[in-house]
Structures are given as structure tokens and as C-alpha cells.
Amino acid sequence: MTAPLRRLAATLWHEGLTPGRAAAAVFVGIFIGNVPIYGFQTLAAIGLAVLFGLNKPLTLAATFINNPLFQPFLVAGSVAIGHFLLTGKWHVFAWPDLSARGLKEGLSDWVAGSVPLGAVLGGIGALVAFLVVRPGQGESIRFVNQLFAACPRSDRGFVRWKLRLDRIFEMLAAEDLGSGAAVDLGCGYGIALGLAAFAGRDRPLMGCDLNPRRIAAARQALPGLHADVRVADVRSFEIPRAGLILILDVLQYLSAEDQSMLLARCCAALEPGGKFIFRVHDRQRAILEKITLGFDRLIFLFGRAGRSPATLAVENYRSVLEEAGMRVVERRFVNRLPLAHVLFVAEKPAPEAKL
């Protein structure tokens, strides 16, 4: 393939390849591939992709669900569903009636059933595409995955799926993470530290976590960077002067008093112009908040935490930050799993220049 053709192929493949648009492209492709409009499926798929601004190669590829291996099952399923929708009775598979009346009824069943079956299969394919496709900040995500390439398969797999399912890393990749030392309290595998190192490979990285296995994986993944990660409790960890401090999934393990004290310590340790980023449950999301809290309770149960997760109201967190003189931005978001969070991005103002 010549260079212009390669560039064209790369442009077509990456156009609009966000999780949402990838899901829409797969849905349209599978739906069109299941509808019996043979001879026009490709034209219809490309036409809808152009109309809705979807990724054309992905839409076209999804139509190939109607390949010879799957086609008999798709036809039989469509006929059975269509027969039930039109008559209220399930169709028992048998050799088709080749009479004019039998062919007409069979075709009617097929067409009627292909629409709901295509919608269901398209929905399943769209969900898979939404979970698998990673959004815009691909270079930083690939950089982190490469850091863990030499780690055991279980650790590599965990990091890969964590990056795909947890939107916090997508948000961090889009955030200006500043410069200077980066500290992650409750760093786990060190994924966020890897993202912090993407824009500045020479910046010092420090982190702590209570899980020795995860710290071991972080040490294996970050040896080429200026990283110091250790097994320690965030409550007693000495926080150095830093340009970036992260707390992603730790605060709910602490009492209300310990949370406030830790936030105040982090604000005091920040360099002027530095950022303090952490997330907590969104207690204003009703059902989603209950799901998020229930998910944490399961983690606490299997982790034998011996207590229930503790989350303060957003106003309490904001109050601690504002009392420390921080500029605060709150961003509510729902994860790819149905978990609701609030991301706090607090910046320490630089001292006013003296005239």
C-alpha cells in the first residue's frame, strides 16, 4: 500500500473513534447486517455512517455478522421471532414450505423478526465496543500499558481493563497535571503515576499503598522513571512538597476526621500553582449513589476492612479546601460501570507578585 493510501486508511479508521461513536457504528453495522436487504447492506451501512458521522470502516466491518458461519442462526432466529410477533406462537424449526403461500409467510416472518433481533444483537455489540474502545488520549494510555508490559499477566490484564472501564484515567489524561513531584496516596498499581509521568518523564513520582502485591507491581512497572513507591498508611505517610497530589480511591476507608486532616495536609504540601485531585462518591445521584456505595461495601467485605465506607457531603470537602485557600472545581461524572463520582480539582494559587 502506498503512503497516501496508508494515510487515508489511518484517517478513515480513527475518524470519530470515541467510545460512544464506536458503539453507535457497531450498532448500525450489526443492525443493517441482520436486515435482509442483500445487495444493499453495504450501501445502507455506509450511507448511515456518513449521515450520522460514524466511523465508516467500523460500521462496514460490523455488517459482516451476516457471514456464512452465523447466517443460518440469524435467519432461523429472525424467522422464529417474527412468527411469534405475527401469530403469537413460537415457530418450530422445519424445512421451509416452498409453496407460494409458504414462501410469503416465511419471508414475512423473516423480515418482521430481523428488526428486533438486529436491535438486540446491535445493542450487545455496541456495549462491547463502548467498553473496549478507548477515547482520545490514546498516547498516554498506551504509554501506561507499555509500562506494565513486563509485569505478570494478571497485573497487565487488571491495568488494561482498569484503564478501559474507569473514566478517571481518561479525565486525568485530559487534565494539565502540571510539573514538579507527583504524589499518589493509595497509588495501588501506580497507574495514575504513570499518567503523570507521560508529559514529564523526569518528574519525581512518589506513592504509597497498603497492598504489598500492588506496590510490587508498581515497582516493576516504573523502574525507568524517578519513582519511589512504598507500603505505607496514608495517615502516617510524610507528604513531600509536590506539584501534583492524587487521591483516587482511599478517602472512603478513613473516618470523617481523618479525611479532613489528610486533605488539609495535602493542601499544605502543595507548591504554589500545584494541583490536588481526588474523587468521592456523588451522594446526589440517588440510585447511582446507592449502587456506588453497594459496590464499595462489597470491596470492603472481600478486603476484610472491618468497617463500612465513609463518604462526606460534597460541601464538607469543599469547605476544607476553601479554608486552605484553594481554588476548587467540582466535576460530576458517571463511570462506564454505573458508579457516580465527584472529581475535585483544587489548585493552590501562586502568591501575588509584589510591585
Which of the four pLDDT bands, split at 50, 70 and 90, describes residue 72? confident
Residue 41 has pLDDT above 50, yes or no: yes
CA distance 146 to 140: 10
Residue 146, burial from CB neighbour count under 10 angstroms (0-12, 13-18, 19+)? exposed
Residue given cell 465508516 in the structure block: 56
Query: Which pLDDT does position 11 carry in this prediction?
Result: 46
**Tens of pLDDT, residues 97-141:** 545 565 567 678 888 888 899 899 999 988 888 777 655 457 888
Residue 65 has pLDDT above 80, yes or no: yes
Question: Is pLDDT larger for residue 250 or for residue 283?
Answer: 250
DSSP string, 185-251: ET-TTTHHHHHHHHH-TTS-EEEEES-HHHHHHHHHHSTTSSEEEEE--TTT--PPPEEEEEESS-G
Which of the four pLDDT bands, split at 50, 70 and 90, describes residue 353? very low
Query: Which pLDDT does position 305 carry in this prediction?
Result: 54
Residue 5 has pLDDT above 50, yes or no: no
Residue 15 has pLDDT above 80, yes or no: no
DSSP single-letter state for residue 270: E
Which of the four pLDDT bands, split at 50, 70 and 90, describes residue 58? confident
Query: Which pLDDT does position 328 carry in this prediction?
Result: 95
Question: Is pLDDT larger for residue 218 or for residue 286?
Answer: 218
Q: Which three cell numbers stand for residue 61?
A: 466491518
Which of the four pLDDT bands, split at 50, 70 and 90, describes residue 196? very high
Which of the four pLDDT bands, split at 50, 70 and 90, describes residue 327? very high
Q: Of 185-194, 291-300, 346-355, which gets the smallest average pLDDT?
A: 291-300
Alpha-carbon dihedral 69, 70, 75, 80, rounded to 10 degrees: 130
CATH numbers and ranges of domains, the chain: 3-132 (no CATH), 138-347 (3.40.50.150)
Kindly state the percentage of the chain with pLDDT values over 70: 81
Residue 17 has pLDDT above 80, yes or no: no
Question: Is pLDDT larger for residue 86 or for residue 271?
Answer: 271
Query: Which pLDDT does position 8 carry in this prediction?
Result: 42
User: Over the chain, what is the mean pLDDT?
Assistant: 83
Query: Which pLDDT does position 92 carry in this prediction?
Result: 61
Among 5-19, 50-64, 88-102, 141-155, the range with the most confident prediction by mean pLDDT is 141-155
Residue 354 has pLDDT above 50, yes or no: no
Residue 307, burial from CB neighbour count under 10 angstroms (0-12, 13-18, 19+)? exposed
